Amino acid sequence: MTETRTIKTDLLARVEGEGAMFLRIRDGRVDDVRLRIYEPPRFFEAFLRGRGYREPVDITARICGICPIAYQMSACAAIEDACGVEVPAAIRDLRRLIYCGEWIESHALHVFMLHAPDILGYDSAIEMARDHRGVVEQGLQIKKAGNALIRVIGGREIHPVNVRVGGFYRAPRPRELRALVEELERARELALETVRLTGGFEVPDFEPEHEFVALSMPDTYPLEGGRLISTGGLDIAPGEYEQHFVEQHVPHSTALHSQLRERGAYLCGPLARYALNSEKLSPLAREAAADAGLGPVCRNPFRSIVVRSVEILYALDEALRLIAAYEEPDAPHVDVPPRAGTGCGWTEAPRGLCWHRYELDEDGTILAAKIVPPTSQNQASIEADLRGFLAGNLELENDRLRHLCEQAIRNHDPCISCATHFLTLEVERF
Amino acid sequence: MRAHEGEPVGLIEEWTGAREVIVVDAVSSGAPPGTIHRLDPLAEPIPAALSQGSTHAFGLAETIELARAIDRLPRRLTVYGIEGERFAAGRELSPAVAAAVEAVEHELRGRLGNPAGGGREAPDADCGAQS
């Protein structure tokens, strides 16, 4: 007799956007695993065609209300590459500083509001807040410090208006940044406490083998550029991305699945960044990670909350370093005259690699655009996690299994709104 | 008045210290387009039908409940939810929704002492529009 168990969640809670989970177990074996993404595709790449080359910075920021800086920075990098312009170090540093703000606010939202309730055994942050008010307050304070950084440099907290191709419309005055120091220092103390807190969380024992893919910069933890490396030996420049990666449609998702052409699924995001770059963290972040029991590589996705906490601490430490060294640049931006050509750029969004490519004509009109956000890259690995975790825990009863499998998805902080920014629509007619 | 976009958890910090807060947001509850929902979250939680409108993990209703749980609600809070009609990207307001927006604007001007035309220095309330 065939015994079939079906576990499904029609609307996943505590992920950004709309998705569902479907798991089928037949005769004691995992039969089918799907992270279903049904949020409608959003066609951003098509919006960009025919627009001017200065516009993607503001248009692509609208892909996500949590990580707009990632889109702005990747768009700038790709368009400047197409135009053959490199921005000076002072502007790069300012970009890194605003990006720190985004890591802080995005990671704080996930760690405290979306992920911690899973691990502490609550259905929501609201329920958790009734018993752990201090933890929630701590999260809000850290997040506020990140938002303040984005507001001061970006002009406002969400979808900042001060970022442009070539740099910024206006560079902040040193005193405007120094005014943030006290709040950032306080947040750094709280972030240190957060690493201790999340480091003590009890999580399932689960160490899947993923190929980790992340940017690498020579002397520092990667945010705003670098080469793309992996635990499988990848080492490429932005323009080589499409030689190594391919995006595919799968029937159960409105988001494209990205794969390594040669080796299939891979994982980007905090676990990958940390595994490939942990020795480049600041001494404070490195020490906190070691005290929390993280080795140089963490493979357990249930412990990604610890890695995110370490990255919050690092981003605060790095922001304070950049502010201490800040001098107002001679000009807030450099001139970027248009030229015909194709350019590629990438940065590390909080959830992982965000790659853009633009093809421009000689007056800067966009002929083609392509954007690969982190969540579409991680879908296949999230499904692999579900499959692996399920196979090792089939003895659990359905409700417990459903909860842990939902958590296996939330471990990766998927942003479905980002992932569904584009899909080619294919219509079959008979 | 402040426009607050994206995820709404930041509203908790925005309204800290405010004497009165009025939040205006678009909603999608199934009511006829242009319906104006006037809610007093201090008296009762946001109805479930009105709490499904955010594509982000944490919506306005969750933010209000979180603030309630950690005792960070303002002393006076009103939520105006305007029922939307066209949620596709790039679509302008439908006539019914545009009329409702105007009606809410008129009501708020009256309630706040007509800050645009009455010569007051500033409204007493912080008005956050969140989408």
Kindly report, residue by residue over A33-75, the tens digit of the pLDDT: 888 776 656 678 888 999 999 999 998 888 877 889 999 999 9
Kindly report, residue by residue over A96-127, the tens digit of the pLDDT: 999 999 999 999 999 998 899 989 998 888 89
Q: Is pLDDT larger for residue B38 or for residue B56? A: B38
Instruction: Decide if B6 and A13 are in contact by the 8 Å CB cutoff.
Output: no
Q: Which amino acid is present at A273?
A: R
Instruction: Give A24's pLDDT tier (boundaries 50, 70, 90).
Output: confident
If you average pLDDT over each of A31-45, A354-368, A405-419, which comes out highest?
A: A354-368
Give the E-state strand segments of A330-426 in sequence order.
341-349, 352-360, 366-372
If you average pLDDT over each of A34-38, A162-166, A417-421, B113-117, which comes out highest?
A: A162-166
| Min Cα separation B64/chain A (Å) | 9
Instruction: Give A394's pLDDT tier (boundaries 50, 70, 90).
Output: confident
Q: Which helix (H) or strand (E) holds A90?
A: helix A89-108
Instruction: In whole angstroms, give the CA distance from residue A363 to residue A354.
Output: 26
Predicted confidence at residue A267, as pLDDT, reads: 96
Domain count, chain A: 1
On chain B, the residues whose CB falls within 8 A of the CB of A127 are 69
Q: Is the pLDDT of residue A86 over 80?
A: yes
| Residue A369: partners with Cβ closer than 8 Å, 6 or more residues away | A44, A45, A48, A49, A56, A356, A357, A358, A359
- Arithmetic mean of pLDDT, A176-182: 98
**Other beta carbons within 10 Å of A64:** 31
Among A41, A36, A37, residue whose Cα is nearest residue A425: A41
Using the Cα atoms of residue A250, residue A252, residue A254 and residue A257 in order, give the sign of their dihedral: negative
Q: Name the residue with tokens 């001098």.
A: A327
* CA angle centred on A160, ends A168 and A364, rounded to 5°: 55
Instruction: In whole angstroms, give the CA distance from residue A411 to residue A300.
Output: 9
Instruction: Give B60's pLDDT tier (boundaries 50, 70, 90).
Output: confident
Q: Is the pLDDT of residue B126 over 70?
A: no
| Min Cα separation B57/chain A (Å) | 5
Kindly report, residue by residue over A191-245, the tens digit of the pLDDT: 999 999 999 999 999 999 999 999 999 999 999 999 999 999 999 999 999 999 9
Q: What CATH number is attached to the domain comprising A103?
A: 1.10.645.10
pTM for the full predicted model:
0.88
> What does the block give as tokens for A158?
């969400």
**Looking at this predicted complex, what is its ipTM?**
0.75
Predicted confidence at residue A417, as pLDDT, reads: 61
Instruction: Decide if A109 and B7 are in contact by the 8 Å CB cutoff.
Output: yes
**Closest-CA residue in chain A for B71?**
A133
What does the DSSP 8-state code read for residue A172? P
For chain A, say whether B14 makes contact (Cβ under 8 Å): no
Nearest to A136 among B4, B66, B89 (CB): B66
- Arithmetic mean of pLDDT, B41-54: 73
The pLDDT mean for chain B works out to: 79
Q: Is the pLDDT of residue A430 over 50?
A: no
CA atoms within 13 A on the CB side of A153: 32
Predicted confidence at residue A38, as pLDDT, reads: 61
Instruction: Give B105's pLDDT tier (boundaries 50, 70, 90).
Output: very high
Predicted confidence at residue B88, as pLDDT, reads: 66
Predicted confidence at residue A12, as pLDDT, reads: 65
Q: Is the pLDDT of residue A253 over 80?
A: no
Nearest to A16 among B4, B10, B56 (CB): B56
The pLDDT mean for chain A works out to: 90
Q: Which domain range does residue A38 map to? A: 4-429
What does the DSSP 8-state code read for residue A292? T
* DSSP codes of every residue in A48-84: HTTSBTTSHHHHGGGG-SS-HHHHHHHHHHHHHHHHT
Nearest to B69 among A16, A42, A129 (CB): A129
Instruction: Decide if B55 and A39 are in contact by the 8 Å CB cutoff.
Output: yes
Q: Is pLDDT larger for residue B125 or for residue A127? A: A127
Residue A259, φ and ψ in degrees, nearest 5: -135, 150
The residue of A113, A127, A183, A423 whose CB has the most chain B CBs within 10 angstroms, and thus the best one to mutate to test that interface, is A113
Q: Is the pLDDT of residue A129 over 90?
A: yes
Instruction: In whole angstroms, give the CA distance from residue A257 to residue A90.
Output: 37
Percentage of chain A lying above the pLDDT 90 cut: 67
Instruction: Give A295's pLDDT tier (boundaries 50, 70, 90).
Output: very high
Instruction: Decide if A144 and B4 are in contact by the 8 Å CB cutoff.
Output: no
Percentage of chain A lying above the pLDDT 70 cut: 93
Instruction: Give B86's pLDDT tier (boundaries 50, 70, 90).
Output: confident
CB-neighbour burial class of residue A400 (10 A; exposed 0-12, middle 13-18, buried 19+): exposed
Instruction: In whole angstroms, give the CA distance from residue A48 to residue A54.
Output: 11
CB-neighbour burial class of residue B40 (10 A; exposed 0-12, middle 13-18, buried 19+): exposed
Instruction: In whole angstroms, give the CA distance from residue A364 to residue A366.
Output: 6
